Every structure is written in C-alpha cells, then in structure tokens.
Amino acid sequence: MASSETVNIQQADVVINRWLVDYYLVLAIDMLERKQYNDFCAIRNVLDYVLSRPLESANSTPKNIRVLNFLTWINKGNSLVSLHVLFNIYSCLSF
C-alpha cells in the first residue's frame, strides 16, 4: 500500500509542477506589465526552482520557457520596446 501511495504522490508532483510553471509564468507577465521588476525577479527565482524538478511536459511547456527567457532578457534592459510586442504575441497563443 505504501509504495502505491508513493507512486501516486510522485505522479501528482509532476503534474502540479507543470501547473506551477503555467501559473507563475502568467504572474511574471503581470508583474512586468505593472512594472514590478523586483517581484518579477522573485517569481523568476521560484520558476527556476520549479523547472529544476520533474514536471509533466505539455505542448506549451517549451514555448512558455522560451517566453520566460525572453522576458528575463527584456527585464535586464536589452530591449524594452519589444516588451509590448511580446505581450501582444503571447496573448494570441494558447496554453
């Protein structure tokens, strides 16, 4: 009984980690839109940790990670003009 419970917890952990990535990515975008850059960095740190754990892969996962990397690049001051364009593109994409 204990081994089947462990497997179920591990399976749930993988799914929940993907949900966390989706949630924190949306939250990170919101923080950038509100110009709360320190909060964005804190959320990025949480996402770095979650991404280091096993997670269920969905079709949107690689795209979401690329978007997060691009947002981080923008937040570092590389191209703030591109931020508005990215929000428009991302809003057209589905999770």
Nearest CA to 22 out of 3, 50, 54 is that of: 50
Position with higher pLDDT, 16 vs 69: 16
Give per-residue pLDDT as tens, 19-40: 998 899 999 989 988 989 999 9
- pLDDT score of 27: 93
**One-character DSSP codes across 9-47:** HHHHHHHHHHHHHHHHHHHHHHHHHTT-HHHHHHHHHHH
Please give the average per-residue pLDDT across 2-27, as a whole number.
82
What topology is assigned to 2-92 in CATH? 1.25.40
Give per-residue pLDDT as tens, 42-80: 999 999 898 888 888 777 777 878 888 878 877 777 555
Q: Judging by beta carbons within 10 Å of its beta carbon (0-12, 13-18, 19+), is residue 61 exposed, middle or buried? A: middle
Domain positions in the chain are 2-92
Q: How would you classify residue 93: left for phi > 0, otherwise alpha for psi between -120 and 50, otherwise beta?
A: beta
Task: Determine if the pTM surpasses 0.85.
Answer: no
